[in-house]
């Protein structure tokens, strides 16, 4: 396809501008990049303070850590926390629930903002477009407490829907407290809350596509569907892949607050995930060591997921998180 | 006000209303020689723990008390008073504080108290104590996360009051590492320097023993635990019998009051405890004649009791939001008040809250056995909370701390107790026909929570409630007191309970709720109990047998 071949030229690889020439001396580069470095410094400091330094605390995973005895006073137990973790059925249950929710969210949630963005892009009237955008962005700014309460008021055992059914002598639906439907419910809530917000980056990706391509495609006789398939989608592809990889990085973080708020309604059997397991074991029950071991394990699995996805992206000829 | 209502029992005011029950409450766990022989702190499902009581029990000097309307008894029935004496004797002499700050962590219920400049009750206490009381109020709902965070961050204030029922893990070790051993100031006759603390009985003090030493000053608790409050108007409207005599009549009552179209249901929370007592399940542990301990979860009546709970749920007498209401006492209480729940299962300590509202007419269900006859009634730990001071060698500071607690622990009828319970005349309370009655402002200002930090036995005195509420409770207590059942492991030390007890108990509670709500069959409890046993239950049984 002619359109396809023109793509790389229209979206020139930015390496020549961003990547320093190998020969330029370090100090020169430092001076040249100093404004950029200053700009990035606060983020780096935050990352160091709140991410890298706390990482050192992971040694707790190898200790029978008691907060008031501290790092020096707590007993070193080696891998004991991990072995007790692996022999705990509650941990495997949490892991399995996490995996199921992760899978559901990636399959059901991830494509929604892409589709929404594409649909929004087809809305010609700027006013209508902006209105729809505002409406779908709005739920992102509500906290989970409010969203869960809203769902409870509408779909709960005593909510609007079920009160209507009960007063009309119909069988009520068990939605909010049905363990079998819980994971779908979570995904639905997540889509309602954040799918709209997620469109922003994809809309930006669409906006970055050279309009000339569409014109060329139209001249070549491409219809709307062909323009989407051969221009829009390839243009969005690097962003989609990047977002997917980044998403995989925290895929195992499946919504702590959202789940914690609804865990009692369906019980830990259906609702315990790695994050809530860590919270209840560590903070509430005081088994900081085992909880940290679970957290560390989650971090390692997430890292592996990102690396694997990135590798796959490179295999498929995409840029991934970084360029090889 | 529903928002102030504490869960499974806390009470706001009647908790605070202590007075001298002349005789000791039943020593929970028994076998406690006053002079520190073998057993000591720690309990299952409840108390702090310590191994080997090496500090003698503080001496007990019964406080003077006004003559009650109805007399309590040594087994734990509480005295009833018509009104709070307004001209009681002073029990605290000499200066208390040094005018400095008094930073104390207190767990509270509901909203935070109004700020100092708008809170005349707080201002009065500051003046009385000659201190600048600065409470760190930890809401009940946040306690389980906030307290560990304060410990982990080394941010605990100088004085810390911890509720016993929160089952803080490794409390004895925490006490040893961070708090002051108060034994030399309280043990034996030393306590007589603080006469109101000497009025606290053994059942309360046992909770203050950690590692065999006295680290905490207790706030005593009634001996009774939980009960069912019935809303009279709802039950009358349904033409039902509010006092069933056996399980079948109980089922009939629940069915009769339930009206889904009107949104009225019999219950909205977990009533497993009530059913277990009805079925005769022991109080956490049984000590067999050979000295071994067997868990109540292994008792033959445990699974049938929970199966009955599940059957009741299935029959539709529970509120449709029960799954979420179980953990939300505030909402449950407001449903009870608005007549959407005919009954609530709550702590005896919660009595003060329902009795606060003159418009709320209620009754208390007399316990009964499954097939008629008596149920058992589990006793509690003997204390609601203990209050500790961070590690210090400054004897003046410790003395000041104990003087503050001495003031707060003043018995019913004393001037200090009146100040703590009623605050400022005209603002916090008004006098009607010679009876002091709290105003709404007074109730709000007391959310400060300072009155929770120490105290002896309490009395029943709710002049602001519906007429006869205290007599009602008194009658209930008289009936129930003969069926009290102690936990033989209470105040025994188990290292396993100490580190894993809370988590294991949570596992069992989750298993019970799963059966209750029909997510799992009753037979799943057998494997849950097995898991509990191998996960630490068996070890606990062994440790209790050894500690005994």
Q: What is the DSSP string of B390-441?
A: BS---HHHHHHHHHHHHHHTPPTTSHHHHHHHH-SBTTTEEEETTEEEE-HH
Q: What residues of chain B lie within 8 A of the CB of A161, using their CB?
A: none
d(CA B96, CA B252): 58
In 3D space, the residue among A251, A57, A164, A268 whose CA is nearest the CA of residue B520 turns out to be: A268
Is a pLDDT exceeding 70 seen at residue A185? yes
Q: What residues of chain A lie within 8 A of the CB of B170, using their CB?
A: 66, 286
ipTM of the complex, rounded to two decimals: 0.77
d(CA A266, CA A180): 9
Q: List the single best residue of A170, A271, A286, A291 to mutate versus B (max B Cβ within 10 A).
A: A286
Residue A167: CB atoms within 10 A of its CB come to: 12
Per the CB < 8 A criterion, the answer to whether B462 and B362 are in contact is no
**CATH topology (fold) of B2-70+84-223+381-457:** D-Maltodextrin-Binding Protein; domain 2 (3.40.190)
d(CA B486, CA B47): 13
Pick A179's closest partner by Cβ from B327, B507, B519. Answer: B519
Residue of chain B minimizing CA distance to A281: B503
Q: What is the pTM of this model?
A: 0.83
Q: List the single best residue of A84, A270, A285 to mutate versus B (max B Cβ within 10 A).
A: A285
In 3D space, the residue among B344, B290, B351 whose CA is nearest the CA of residue B474 turns out to be: B351
Q: What is the pLDDT of residue A324?
A: 66
**Residue for token pair 């700020």:** B115
Q: What residues of chain B lie within 8 A of the CB of A167, using their CB?
A: 261
| Architecture of the structural domain at A81-315 | Orthogonal Bundle (1.10)
Strands B377-378 and B484-485: parallel
Please check whether residue A179 touches B, CB under 8 A: yes
Q: What is the pLDDT of residue B51?
A: 47
* Ranges in chain B annotated CATH 3.40.190.10: 2-70+84-223+381-457, 226-379+486-547
Please check whether residue A170 touches B, CB under 8 A: no
Backbone angles phi, psi at B116, to 5 degrees: -50, -45
Please check whether residue A98 touches B, CB under 8 A: no
User: Coil, strand, or helix at residue B347?
Assistant: strand
pLDDT digits (tens, 9 = 90+) for B383-394: 999 999 999 999
Per the CB < 8 A criterion, the answer to whether A127 and A183 are in contact is no
Chain B: closest CA distance from residue A43 (Å):
25
Q: What is the pLDDT of residue A257?
A: 92
d(CA A190, CA A94): 19
Question: Beta partners for B364?
Answer: B229
Vertex B326, ends B321 and B330: CA angle to 5°? Answer: 90
Q: What is the pLDDT of residue A250?
A: 79
What residues contact B90, with CB distance under 8 A and at least 6 apart?
Answer: B414, B415, B416
Written as six digits, the tokens of B392 are 């210090």
- List C-alpha distances in Å: B187 to A246, B55, B300, B512: 62, 6, 42, 42
DSSP H or E run through A218: helix A211-219
Cβ contact, residue pair B319, A162, below 8 Å: no
Q: What is the pLDDT of residue A48?
A: 95
Pick A286's closest partner by Cβ from B148, B263, B319. Answer: B148
CA-CA-CA-CA torsion sign (B14, B17, B20, B24): positive
Listed in sequence order, the DSSP H helices in B72-215 are 120-129, 143-152, 171-178, 183-186, 202-205
- How confident is the model over A197-210, as a mean pLDDT? 92
Q: What is the pLDDT of residue B19?
A: 30
Per the CB < 8 A criterion, the answer to whether B162 and B147 are in contact is yes
Per the CB < 8 A criterion, the answer to whether B413 and B68 are in contact is no
Cβ contact, residue pair A285, B500, below 8 Å: yes
Pick B151's closest partner by Cβ from A67, A89, A158. Answer: A67
Instruction: Output helix, strand, coil percentages for chain A, rounded to the nearest 5.
Output: 75, 0, 20
Say how many CB pairs under 8 Å bridge A and B. Answer: 88
- List C-alpha distances in Å: B497 to A52, B44, B148, B540: 36, 7, 17, 6
d(CA B531, CA B542): 16
3-state secondary structure B259-283: EHHHCEECECCCCHHHHHHHCCCCC
Pick B320's closest partner by Cβ from A90, A172, A286. Answer: A172
Is a pLDDT exceeding 80 seen at residue A12? no
In 3D space, the residue among B187, B180, B132, B145 whose CA is nearest the CA of residue B160 turns out to be: B180
pLDDT digits (tens, 9 = 90+) for A136-172: 999 999 999 999 999 999 998 888 999 999 888 888 8
Pick the CATH number of B226-379+486-547 from 3.40.190.10, 1.10.10.10, 3.10.20.30, 3.40.50.1240: 3.40.190.10
DSSP H or E run through B226: strand B226-231
What residues contact A209, with CB distance under 8 A and at least 6 apart?
Answer: A231, A232, A235, A236
Q: What residues of chain A lie within 8 A of the CB of B527, using their CB?
A: none
Please check whether residue A286 touches B, CB under 8 A: yes
d(CA A240, CA A61): 35
Pick A69's closest partner by Cβ from B177, B326, B327. Answer: B177
What residues contact B537, with CB distance under 8 A and at least 6 apart?
Answer: B295, B297, B504, B529
Chain A: closest CA distance from residue B169 (Å):
7
What residues contact A276, with CB distance under 8 A and at least 6 apart?
Answer: A94, A256, A259, A260, A263, A268
- List C-alpha distances in Å: A245 to A28, A100, A106: 34, 18, 11
pLDDT digits (tens, 9 = 90+) for B422-478: 999 999 999 988 889 888 899 889 889 898 899 998 899 988 888 888 999 999 999
CA-CA-CA-CA torsion sign (A292, A296, A298, A302): positive
Pick B152's closest partner by Cβ from A67, A269, A285. Answer: A67
Q: What is the pLDDT of residue A19?
A: 53
Cβ contact, residue pair A68, B173, below 8 Å: yes
Per-10-residue mean pLDDT for chain B, 548 residues long? 34 33 28 29 38 81 92 92 91 92 90 91 96 92 88 92 88 92 95 95 93 94 92 94 96 96 94 96 96 96 97 95 86 91 86 75 94 94 94 95 96 94 93 88 89 90 85 93 94 89 89 94 95 95 92
Please check whether residue A269 touches B, CB under 8 A: yes
pLDDT digits (tens, 9 = 90+) for A99-118: 999 999 999 999 999 999 99
**Residue for token pair 């023109």:** A6
């Amino acid at each position: 396809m002619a359109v396809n071949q023109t793509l790389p030229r229209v979206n020139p690889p930015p390496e020549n501008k961003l990547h320093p020439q190998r020969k330029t001396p370090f100090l020169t580069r430092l001076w040249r990049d100093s404004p950029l470095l200053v700009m990035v410094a606060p983020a780096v400091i935050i990352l160091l303070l709140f991410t890298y330094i706390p990482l050192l605390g992971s040694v707790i995973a190898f200790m029978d850590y008691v907060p008031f005895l501290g790092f020096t006073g707590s007993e070193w137990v080696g891998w004991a926390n991990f072995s007790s973790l692996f022999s705990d059925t509650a941990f495997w249950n949490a892991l399995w629930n996490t995996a199921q929710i992760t899978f559901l969210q990636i399959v059901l949630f991830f494509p929604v903002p892409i589709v929404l963005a594409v649909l929004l892009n087809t809305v010609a009237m700027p006013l209508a477009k902006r209105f729809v955008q505002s409406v779908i962005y709005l739920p992102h700014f509500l906290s989970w407490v409010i969203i869960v309460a809203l769902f409870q008021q509408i779909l709960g055992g005593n909510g609007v829907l079920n009160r209507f059914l009960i007063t009309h002598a119909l069988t009520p639906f068990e939605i909010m407290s049905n363990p079998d439907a819980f994971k779908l419910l979570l995904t639905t809530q997540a889509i309602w809350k954040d799918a709209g917000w997620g469109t922003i980056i994809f809309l930006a990706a669409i906006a970055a596509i050279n309009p000339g391509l569409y014109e060329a495609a139209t001249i070549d006789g491409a219809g709307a569907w062909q323009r989407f398939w051969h221009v829009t989608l390839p243009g969005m592809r690097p962003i989609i892949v990047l977002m997917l990889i980044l998403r995989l990085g925290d895929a195992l973080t499946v919504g702590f607050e959202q789940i914690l708020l609804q865990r009692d309604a369906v019980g830990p059997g259906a609702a315990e995930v790695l994050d809530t397991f860590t919270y209840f074991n560590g903070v509430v029950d005081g088994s900081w060591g085992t909880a940290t071991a679970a957290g560390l394990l989650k971090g390692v699995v997430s890292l592996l997921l990102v690396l694997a996805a990135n590798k796959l992206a490179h295999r498929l000829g995409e840029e991934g998180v970084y360029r090889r | 006000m529903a928002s102030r209502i504490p869960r499974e029992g806390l009470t706001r005011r009647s908790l605070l209303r202590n007075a001298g029950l002349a005789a000791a409450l039943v020593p929970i766990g028994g076998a406690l020689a006053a002079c520190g022989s073998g057993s000591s702190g720690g309990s299952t499902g409840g108390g702090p723990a310590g191994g080997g009581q090496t500090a003698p029990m503080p001496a007990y000097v019964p406080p003077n008390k006004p003559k009650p309307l109805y007399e309590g008894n040594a087994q734990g029935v509480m005295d009833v008073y018509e009104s709070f004496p307004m001209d009681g004797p002073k029990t605290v002499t000499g200066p208390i504080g040094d005018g400095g700050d008094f930073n104390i962590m207190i767990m509270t219920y509901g909203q935070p108290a109004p700020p100092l400049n708008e809170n005349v009750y707080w201002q009065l206490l500051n003046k009385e104590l000659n201190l600048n009381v600065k409470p760190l109020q930890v809401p009940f709902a946040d306690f389980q996360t906030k307290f560990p965070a304060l410990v982990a961050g080394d941010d605990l204030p100088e004085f810390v009051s911890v509720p016993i029922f929160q089952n803080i893990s490794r409390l004895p070790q925490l006490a040893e590492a961070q708090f002051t051993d108060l034994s030399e100031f309280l043990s034996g006759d030393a306590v007589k320097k603080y006469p109101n603390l000497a009025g606290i009985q053994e059942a309360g003090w046992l909770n203050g023993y950690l590692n065999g030493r006295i680290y905490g000053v207790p706030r005593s608790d009634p001996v009774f635990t939980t009960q069912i409050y019935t809303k009279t108007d709802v039950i009358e409207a349904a033409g039902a019998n509010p006092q069933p005599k056996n399980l079948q009549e109980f089922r009939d009552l629940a069915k009769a009051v339930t009206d889904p179209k009107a949104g009225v249901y019999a219950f909205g929370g977990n009533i497993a405890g009530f059913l277990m007592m009805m079925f005769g399940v022991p109080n956490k542990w049984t000590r067999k004649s050979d000295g071994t301990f067997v868990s109540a979860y292994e008792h033959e009546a445990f699974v049938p009791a929970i199966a009955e709970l599940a059957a009741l749920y299935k029959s539709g007498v529970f509120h449709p939001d029960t799954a979420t209401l179980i953990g939300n006492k505030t909402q449950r209480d407001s449903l009870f008040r608005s007549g959407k729940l005919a009954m609530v299962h709550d702590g005896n300590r919660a009595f003060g809250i329902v009795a606060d509202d003159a418009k709320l007419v209620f009754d208390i269900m007399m316990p009964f056995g499954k097939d008629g006859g008596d149920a058992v009634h589990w006793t509690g730990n003997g204390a609601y909370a203990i209050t500790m001071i961070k590690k210090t060698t400054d004897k003046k500071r410790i003395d000041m701390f104990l003087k503050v607690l001495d003031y707060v622990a003043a018995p019913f009828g004393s001037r200090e107790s009146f100040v703590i319970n009623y605050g400022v005349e005209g603002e916090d309370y008004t006098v009607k026909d010679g009876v002091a009655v709290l105003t709404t402002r007074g109730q709000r200002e007391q959310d400060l929570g300072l009155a929770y930090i120490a105290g002896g036995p309490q009395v029943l005195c709710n002049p602001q409630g519906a007429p006869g509420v205290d007599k009602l409770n008194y009658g209930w207590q008289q009936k129930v007191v003969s069926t009290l059942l102690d936990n033989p492991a209470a105040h025994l030390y188990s290292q396993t309970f100490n580190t894993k007890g809370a988590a294991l108990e949570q596992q069992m509670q989750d298993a019970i709720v799963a059966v209750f709500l029909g997510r799992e069959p009753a037979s799943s409890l057998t494997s849950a109990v097995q898991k509990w046993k191998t996960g630490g239950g068996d070890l606990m049984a062994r440790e209790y047998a050894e500690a005994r």
